[in-house]
Each structure stands twice: as C-alpha cells, then as structure tokens.
C-alpha cells in the first residue's frame, strides 16, 4: 500500500502504538508535545539531533530496518561520545508518497530495536510528505552526571590517544549495524578521568583534528598501529568514516591500568593506543581529511 | 556562493556563532551533544519536533527568513498548545548543494529571530546535503509546571469551546508570519482551569475532531460565529489550516470571567466562543476534514 493513499492520522496510528516507553514518560507520541519527568538535578541534560538522507546515508535498496537502526544509532553514538545516558527520542519521517507502508513500518522497527536496546523511549513521531528523497531525523535527550561529562575540549599535551574497535571499510555494511559505544563510555568515565572524547563519524582523519583543535593542542599518530578492518588500507581507516568508534584522550599515568581493566571488561572489543596529543601537530598530510560533506 | 563549494565544518562555522543562548546552556552547538542545566523539579519536560519541507510547506521562491521563522514557530505553537515554556532548540538543515550560503544564512536568521522572541537557545545545528528538496527540522525542549500542563484529552461534555484570532486564508502569507500563542496560553493556565487545548495547524475541521476524540466526547459548533479572516468562507476557515491559533475547552462557569479578563489583557487579539463539547457530535459534515497529509 502506497503512503499516498494514507492520511497522516492513519499513518501515525499504524506507526506509533507500542513504541517503547519508560517510567519517566507522562505522555508519549500523539498529543502536541511529549511530556516527561525530569531526572535528579545533579545532572546535565544532553540534546542531540541527527538525520539520515536517502541517496547520502542509505539508498532506496537499503534494508529499511537497518536504515532505522542507523538513524537511531547515530545520535546514540554522540551520547556515547559524552558518556551520556539517552532517555527520550523524537522521530521525524519525511517520506515521499510512493514509499510503501511496509517500508515505513520496517524503518520504525529498526528505530524501535535500537531504542529498546539502549532503554530509550520514542516519545514523538512526526511525518511529512516530500517530493524528494526520504529523510529520517532523530532527536535525543538524556543526561550525564555533572562530574562525568566529557567534551572534546579537555585534551592536554602529553595525553595518550585511544580508539575502540577497528576503522575503515564501513560501507561494506557495518555502517548499518554498528553498536553505539554507550556501555563502554559509561564504564570509562566511571573508572577513569577521560580528558576528551568523541565518536568517529567522519573518519579519524577528520575527527582527530577536530578534537585537537577543540583542546588547543596538536597530535601525533602512529599510522602503523591503527586498528584496521580487514582489507583496509591506512588511508581507508583514516578517511572512510562512519566507524562510530570512540576516540579519547587520557593521562599517560592512567594508561597502563586502563589497558589492563579494559581487556578484562571488554575482551571482545579492541582498544588501541594510536598516539598522543602534543603541543603542535606532527602530521599535516593529505591523508588526514576524512569524509567532507557537501563535496 | 554555492554550498557545494563548502565543507560542513566551514558551513557550520558560518551559521553557528552568535546563536542565541540562555543561562541554562553549558555547551551549545559544536560538540557531540548540547549540554544544558535542568530547571527545578516540580516541572514536566516537554519535547516536540517538527519540520518544513520545500514544495510542501514553502517553495523555492519563499523568503528564506520567513521559512526559518515558520520552521521555529511551528513547534513553538505546539508548546503554546500545552502551556509550555520552550527553552532549547536543535536545528537540522537538509540542503541541496545548489542552495547558496546566503539563502542558508537567511534561513538561520529567521530561526534565530523566532528563537530570540521566545527566549529559546538554539543549542544544536546539524546539516546534511541531499539530492532533493530542502528540509528544516526543529526539535524543542522545555517545561511546564505539573499543575499547568494541558493536553487534548481533558475536555468534558458541556465545556465551552474557544478559539483565538481568526481562521482561514493563511496561504496568502500569514503562514509565514504567525505568532505562536505562548504568552496567551501561559496567561490562560495561570488564571483559569483549561480542560483541553491544542493549536490549530491542520484547520479547525480536522483539529477539533481530534480534541473531541482525545477527550471522548462530541462537539457542536456554530459555523456562523466562526472568526474568519477577510474574504474567507466558512469552508476555508474550517479547512485551510496553518492558523496556529489556540483551540481550548473551559467550564461554562468560567466563561464570563474569561471573556471579560481576556478583552482587558489582550485587547487586540480576538477570542471567540465557537461552540461546546457534548456527549455526541451534532456535525458529521464533509466540510469537517481540514488539511489531510499524504493526499
């Protein structure tokens, strides 16, 4: 059935019932706004929005449940980057009228799966039609304890740089299946003082310079130790993007304990020391550009 | 200058500095998430997302500052519908690469103007390119006191129905210039017990049945008293949509005091008693459909 045969009320009546809620939800999707309770006050609130666009982040042939997963997992990865706990999601679906109801429901199935996996309640679901490509936009709110919040700007010269997992080649399919590193980030800030952290969405080659710039320092990286996915070159590991792994900086004093406890806690997820922050960058190299938007 | 010549970092560097902030903002746009302080706990948090799509809600010829105003004012109108106080906005711009930087900056100027008018801080700004029409998606968070929150579901048989302002003909230009009725809604819930309220976005003909359905009651409306904009028929007042006026239900006991105080407080904004809620609808009429999406 084509969406063109549907009114918005009927479409939302198909999509919204049964969305995951949590105990803080007073009123979920369906009224003018969602209404939720505030958590305790020794927290900061976090807010993040992100979207995926057909033809850019996925294609008409991409499995819709995977597209939905990705649309939710991307802002979740930004929550991980700040050691945040996500709580509530608002979803906007912009769908051309020639998409089917089945396709749209599968998008929601993927959104829901990612939301449930991280105990997030979807409390708003807007739809709009469009003459152009489908867009799924997800806004997330949640919190982080004031003493556990990590931005990009706290890195210090001398800090060691770590990345989780492996880099490169995500377009072979991993960009639809990645796991936001929320559990790992929460563990990191519970046990260690993390000076700066971000998630790798545009590729280490673009993202590390951003972290260094925000911290007012330079960086040096040993390209030979970069954890690469199978059959990936260094250039691919630097620039493919969509890795959604964590990049973070810690004091060299914490490094040995970190590496040992990490290996015990997350035996199946690689943690690699790739270099360090310094007073001035050693690398000014064409390989370091990552994915550049609008090009 | 075309956006295709810009990287995302450079584009955001043009758009994000100088965005309105408020005292609750710890970290605004630019890091992985925005970070804000929580207000006091005797409040509920409100969340709302909404988008405008080129070809649907505006055209390529629409003045971009008006498009930006509209994109922000629409979810603000939903906050008004719940008597909420908006605080933080996240903006996603999906722009084809052939749009100019000047166009994009004017969109932001309109977003900013609406945000400043209602003391909202824009704390996140994402961009993505697209092969299709431009989309501006805005997510808002804010709060409402627990004893002042108004949904659609609290209307009772016998309640009188009021609308603010005039209805119909919004496409002649008012849909780009409307004022979200936040001040009016805050005043209403401060001084009166409002049983049910919503903003009229799809037209009274579509929205009143929604309010009645959510409240489990019927309604009767005197079409002759509907406050119409100049040169509008009853059918247009019911179905044009995009009025962004308030529709609400109060006990008939409060009606005389409400009408008298309203006229003193808002002498330039019409308030009209259009009918009442009852046990079963008197009107089952083809005129009552409003704007139907996906048609």
What digits encode the pLDDT tens for the residues A29-55?
667 777 777 766 678 889 999 999 999
Report the candidate in A14, A186, A244, A36 with the shortest Cα–Cα distance to residue A121.
A36
Inter-chain contact A127–B293, Cβ cutoff 8 Å?
A: yes
pLDDT at B6 over 90: no
pLDDT at site A61: 93
**Residue B229 pLDDT class (50, 70, 90 cuts):** very high
With a pLDDT cut of 90, the percent of chain A lying above it is: 65
* Interatomic CA distance for residues A111 and A161, integer angstroms: 32
- Chain B residues closer than 8 Å to A55 by CB: 130-132
Segment holding A234, helix H or strand E = helix A234-239
The residues, ordered by sequence, that sit 6+ positions from A249 with a Cβ below 8 Å of its Cβ are A154, A155, A156, A159, A160, A161, A162, A194, A195, A196, A197, A211, A215, A277
pLDDT, position A45:
87
pLDDT of the residue at B21: 66
**Region A100-119 average pLDDT:** 92
Q: Is the pLDDT of residue A290 over 90?
A: no
Q: Is the pLDDT of residue A141 over 90?
A: yes
Q: Is residue B111 predicted with pLDDT exceeding 50?
A: yes
How far is A57 from B131, CA to CA, in rounded Å? 12
Tell me the C-alpha distance between B162 and B196, whole Å: 11
Q: State residue A30's pLDDT score.
A: 65
pLDDT value at residue B258:
98
Q: What number is the average pLDDT over the span A215-237?
A: 94
Q: Where are the alpha helices (DSSP H) in B31-122?
A: 64-81, 101-117
Structure tokens of A121? 């309640």
Which residues in chain A are contacts of B38 at CB distance < 8 A? 38-39, 41, 43-45, 143
- Report how far residue A120's alpha carbon sits from residue A154's, in angstroms, rounded to the nearest whole number: 28
What is the structure's pLDDT at B40? 67
Per-residue pLDDT at A43: 83
CA–CA dist A27, B15 (Å, integer): 34
Predicted local confidence at residue A21, as pLDDT: 67
Neighboring chain A residues of B42 at a CB cutoff of 8 Å: none
Of A39 and A187, more confident: A187
Q: What percent of chain B has pLDDT over 70?
A: 88
| Lowest-pLDDT choice from A91-100, A246-255, B180-189 | A91-100
Q: In which residue are the tokens 């800090």 written?
A: A159
β-strands B25-27, A271-278: how paired? unpaired
Residue B81 above 90 pLDDT? yes
Going by pLDDT thresholds of 50, 70 and 90, the confidence category of residue A113 is very high
Residue B261: count of CB within 10 angstroms of its CB: 15
Contact A85, A43 (CB under 8 A): no
Q: What percent of chain A has pLDDT over 70?
A: 87
The pLDDT assigned to A292 comes to 45
Whether B284 shows a pLDDT value over 90: the answer reads no
DSSP letter assigned to residue B58: B
Chain A residues within 8 A of B40 when measuring between CB atoms: 41
Q: Which of A35, A51, A56 sits opposite B44 (nearest CB)?
A: A35
Residue entry with tokens 């390209």: A223
Which tokens sit at A263? 């290996």
Task: Give yes or no for residue A232 having a pLDDT over 80.
Answer: yes
Which residues, other chains included, contact A252 with Cβ-Cβ below 8 Å and sequence gap of 6+? A158, A159, A160, A276
Residue A6 has a pLDDT of 65
Average pLDDT, stretch A2-17?
A: 70
To the nearest whole number, what is the mean pLDDT of chain A? Answer: 88
Residue A171: pLDDT above 90?
A: no
> Mean pLDDT over all residues of chain B?
88
pLDDT at B208 over 70: yes
For residues B131-151, average pLDDT: 92
Chain B interface includes A1 (CB < 8 A): no
Which residues of chain A have a CB within 8 Å of the CB of B45?
35-38, 141
Contacts of B138 (CB under 8 A, 6+ apart): B49, B50, B51, B71, B72, B74, B75, B89, B90, B91, B92, B111
Q: How confident is the model at residue B26 (pLDDT cuts 50, 70, 90)?
A: confident
Rounded CA separation B286/B288 (Å):
5
pLDDT higher than 70, residue B72: yes
- Backbone φ and ψ of B94, nearest 5°: -110, 110
**A10, A47, A148: best mutation site toward chain B, by most B Cβ within 10 Å?**
A47
Given an 8 Å threshold on Cβ–Cβ distance, is B131 in contact with A55? yes
Which band of pLDDT confidence, cut at 50, 70 and 90, is reported for residue B52?
very high
Is the pLDDT at A291 greater than 90? The verdict is: no
Mean pLDDT check: name the lowest of A123-127, B149-153, B188-192.
A123-127
**Taking 90 as the threshold, does the pLDDT of residue B154 lie above it?**
yes
Q: Which of B47, B138, B147 to mutate to test the interface with A (most CBs of A within 10 A)?
A: B47
Q: Is the pLDDT of residue A289 over 80?
A: no
Does residue A293 surpass a pLDDT of 50?
A: no
Q: What is the structure's pLDDT at B85?
A: 93
Touching check for B39 and chain A: CB below 8 Å? Answer: yes
Query: Which of A44, A51, A88 is the closest to B128 by Cβ?
Result: A51
Order of all β-strands in the sheet with B160-164: B196-199, B246-250, B160-164, B271-278, B218-221
DSSP code of residue A7: -
Which among A128, A130, A151 is the nearest to B31, CB-wise? A151
pTM comes to 0.88
**What chain B residue is nearest to A86 in terms of C-alpha separation?**
B33
How far away is chain A from the Cα of B74, in angstroms, using its nearest Cα? 11
pLDDT band at residue B295 under the 50/70/90 scheme: very low
Residue B71 has pLDDT above 90, yes or no: yes
């Amino acid at each position: 059935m084509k969406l063109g045969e549907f009114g918005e009320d009927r479409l939302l009546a198909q999509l919204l019932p049964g969305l995951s809620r949590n105990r803080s939800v007073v009123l979920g999707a369906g009224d003018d706004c969602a209404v939720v309770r505030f958590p305790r006050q020794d927290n900061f609130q976090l807010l993040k929005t992100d979207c995926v666009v057909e033809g850019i982040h996925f294609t008409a042939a991409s499995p819709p449940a995977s597209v939905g997963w990705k649309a939710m997992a991307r802002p979740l990865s930004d929550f991980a980057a700040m050691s945040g706990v996500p709580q509530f999601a608002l979803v906007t679906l912009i769908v051309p009228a020639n998409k089917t109801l089945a396709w749209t429901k599968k998008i929601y199935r993927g959104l829901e799966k990612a939301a449930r996996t991280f105990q997030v309640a979807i409390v708003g679901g807007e739809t709009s039609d469009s003459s152009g490509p489908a867009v799924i936009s997800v806004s997330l709110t949640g919190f982080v304890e004031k003493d556990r919040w990590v931005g990009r700007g706290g890195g210090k010269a001398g800090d060691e740089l770590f990345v989780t997992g492996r880099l490169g080649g995500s377009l072979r399919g991993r960009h639809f299946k990645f796991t936001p590193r929320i559990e790992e980030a929460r563990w990191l800030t519970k046990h260690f003082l993390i000076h700066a952290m971000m998630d790798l969405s545009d590729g280490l080659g673009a993202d590390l310079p951003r972290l260094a710039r925000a911290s007012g320092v330079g960086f040096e990286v040993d390209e030979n130790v970069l954890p690469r996915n199978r059959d990936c070159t260094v250039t691919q590991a630097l620039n493919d993007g969509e890795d959604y792994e964590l990049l973070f900086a810690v004091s060299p004093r914490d490094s040995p304990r970190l590496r040992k406890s990490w290996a015990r806690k997350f035996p199946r997820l690689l943690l690699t020391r790739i270099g360090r922050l310094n007073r001035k960058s050693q690398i000014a190299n064409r390989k370091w550009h990552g994915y550049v938007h609008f090009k």
